[in-house]
Structure 1
Amino acid sequence: MTETIKEHDFIELNYTGKLTDGTVFDTTIEAVAKENGFNNEKANFAPAVICVGEKQILPGLDAQLVDKEIGKNHDVKLSAEEAFGKRDVKKMRIMPISAFKEHNMQPQPGMQIDADGKVGTVSRVSGGRVIVNFNHPLAGKEVVYTVNVIRKVTDVPEQIKSFLTTSMKMPGDKIDVTVNEDKAEIKLPMDLPEQFTEAISQKLAELTKLKEVKFVKAAEKKGEVKSENKN
Structure 2
Amino acid sequence: MAIKQGDFVKISYTGMLDDGTVFDTTDEKLAKEKGIYNPRVIYNPVLLVVGRQHILKGLEEALIGMDKGEEKEVTIPPEKAFGQVNNNLINVIPLSYFEKQKLNPVPGMIVNVNDRDGMIKSVGAGRVIVDFNHPLAGKTLKYKIKVEEILDTVEKKVKALFEDSGLGDKGLEGKISIDKDVLTVDIKADPSETYIFKKQTFLSWIREIDEINKIKFNEEYQLVSRKSSEPEEKNESKPAKEAGKESRKEDYKKNGSKK
Q: Which runs of 5+ in 1 are unaligned?
A: none
**Segments ≥4 residues shifted beyond 6 Å:** none
Could you tell me which of 203, 206, 220 is aligned with 1:204? 206
Q: Please give the residue correspondences for 1:66-85 in structure 2 after superposition, counting only pairs within 5 Å.
A: 66-85=64-83
Give aligned pairs, total.
Answer: 220
Helix, strand or coil: the match of 2:63? Answer: coil
Q: Please give the residue correspondences for 1:122-133 in structure 2 after superposition, counting only pairs within 5 Å.
A: 122-133=120-131
Task: Indicate if the aligned counterparts of 1:202 and 1:213 stay in contact, CA closer than 8 A.
Answer: no
Task: Indicate if the aligned counterparts of 2:3 and 2:64 stay in contact, CA closer than 8 A.
Answer: yes
TM-score by length of 1: 0.82
Could you tell me which of 34, 38, 62 is aligned with 2:60? 62
Q: CA deviation at 1:76?
A: 2.1
Helix, strand or coil: the match of 1:207? Answer: coil
Task: Indicate if the aligned counterparts of 1:50 and 1:162 stay in contact, CA closer than 8 A.
Answer: no
Task: Indicate if the aligned counterparts of 1:161 and 1:177 stay in contact, CA closer than 8 A.
Answer: no
Is the counterpart of residue 137 in structure 1 residue 135 in structure 2?
yes
The answer for the alignment partner of 1:44 in structure 2 is 42
Q: Please give the residue correspondences for 1:1-231 in structure 2 after superposition, counting only pairs within 5 Å.
A: 3-154=1-152, 156=154, 158-160=156-158, 162-163=160-161, 170=166, 172-173=168-169, 176-182=174-180, 183-186=182-185, 187=187, 189-190=190-191, 192=196, 201=203, 204-214=206-216, 216=217, 218-221=219-222, 227=225, 229=227
- Distance verdict in 2 for CA 1:43–1:90, change over 3 Å: same
Q: CA deviation at 1:160?
A: 3.4
Greater fraction of residues in helix? 2
Q: CA deviation at 1:161?
A: 5.2
Amino acid at match of 2:32: K
Task: Indicate if the aligned counterparts of 2:95 and 2:126 stay in contact, CA closer than 8 A.
Answer: yes
Alignment partners' CA distance in 2, 1:181 and 1:171: 20
Helix, strand or coil: the match of 1:100? Answer: helix
Amino acid at match of 2:4: K
Task: Indicate if the aligned counterparts of 2:161 and 2:202 stay in contact, CA closer than 8 A.
Answer: no
What's the CA shift string for 1:9-51, capped at 9, x where partnerless?
1112110011111111110011211221113221221212222
Task: Indicate if the aligned counterparts of 1:8 and 1:207 stay in contact, CA closer than 8 A.
Answer: no
What's the CA shift string for 1:165-220, capped at 9, x where partnerless?
66x6x474167351222211345544749xx95x9747624425223234x26313
Helix, strand or coil: the match of 2:209? Answer: helix
Helix, strand or coil: the match of 2:130? Answer: strand
The answer for the alignment partner of 2:230 in structure 1 is none
Structure (1 or 2) with the larger CA radius of gyration: 2
Choose 27-36 or 45-54, whichever is displaced more.
Answer: 45-54
- Distance verdict in 2 for CA 1:27–1:213, change over 3 Å: same
Task: Indicate if the aligned counterparts of 1:108 and 1:124 stay in contact, CA closer than 8 A.
Answer: yes
Task: Indicate if the aligned counterparts of 1:157 and 1:177 stay in contact, CA closer than 8 A.
Answer: no
Alignment partners' CA distance in 2, 1:209 and 1:47: 25
Higher relative contact order (CA 8 A, sep 6+): 1
Task: Indicate if the aligned counterparts of 1:17 and 1:25 stay in contact, CA closer than 8 A.
Answer: yes
Amino acid at match of 2:59: L
TM-score by length of 2: 0.74
Alignment partners' CA distance in 2, 1:151 and 1:120: 36
Choose 101-110 or 145-154, whichever is displaced more.
Answer: 145-154
Q: CA deviation at 1:73?
A: 0.2
Amino acid at match of 2:184: E
Q: Note the aligned Cα RMSD (angstroms).
A: 3.0
Alignment partners' CA distance in 2, 1:164 and 1:103: 42
